[in-house]
């Protein structure tokens, strides 16, 4: 699975999620997800998320927002816990 990486630095990644690809797994999700791609390319994301940084969130590492499975578009994903918290704060203020 190859997903276009629009931007990447030490703190975050921006990808162009294609339609038909779920962002993360779940009970009803079968097949590859955006998270699968991200963890393959950026394994440090494994410990980034809402759970303590040491544990990470196995289903949504680095994910601060999502797009529906059938929606395409740019997603910004954190590569470290500090950036995750900063991005999460920004998205919460926008809503």
Domains of the chain listed by start with CATH number = 5-94 (3.30.2350.10)
Catalytic, out of 9, 11, 57, 68 = 68
Residue 55: the pLDDT is 60
Predicted confidence (pLDDT) per residue in 20-76, tens digit: 998 887 777 777 889 999 999 999 998 898 875 556 556 788 888 888 888 999 999
CA dihedral 21, 41, 57, 33 (to 10 degrees): 10
pTM of the model: 0.84
Q: Which carries the bigger pLDDT value, residue 79 or residue 53?
A: 79
Dist. CA 15–CA 35, nearest whole Å: 11
Name the least confident of 2-6, 31-35, 43-47, 91-95. Answer: 91-95
In this structure, how many other beta carbons lie within 10 angstroms of the beta carbon of residue 58? 14
Token pair belonging to 11: 């703190």
Enclosing H/E stretch for 37: helix 34-41
Active site residue 11: no
Residue 82: the pLDDT is 94
Residue 57: the pLDDT is 55
Average pLDDT of 72-88? 94
Instruction: Give the residue carrying structure tokens 């440090």.
Output: 44
Q: Which DSSP category does 25 fall into? A: -
Is residue 74 a contact partner of residue 38, using CB atoms and an 8 Å limit?
no
């Amino acid at each position: 699975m190859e997903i276009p990486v629009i931007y990447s630095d030490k703190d975050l990644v921006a990808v162009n999620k294609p339609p038909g690809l779920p962002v993360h797994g779940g009970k009803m999700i079968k097949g590859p997800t955006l998270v699968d791609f991200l963890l393959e390319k950026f394994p440090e994301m494994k410990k980034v998320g809402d759970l303590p940084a040491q544990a990470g969130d196995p289903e949504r590492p680095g994910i601060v927002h999502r797009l529906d499975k059938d929606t395409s578009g740019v997603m910004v994903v954190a590569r470290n816990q500090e950036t995750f918290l900063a991005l999460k704060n920004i998205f919460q203020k926008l809503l």
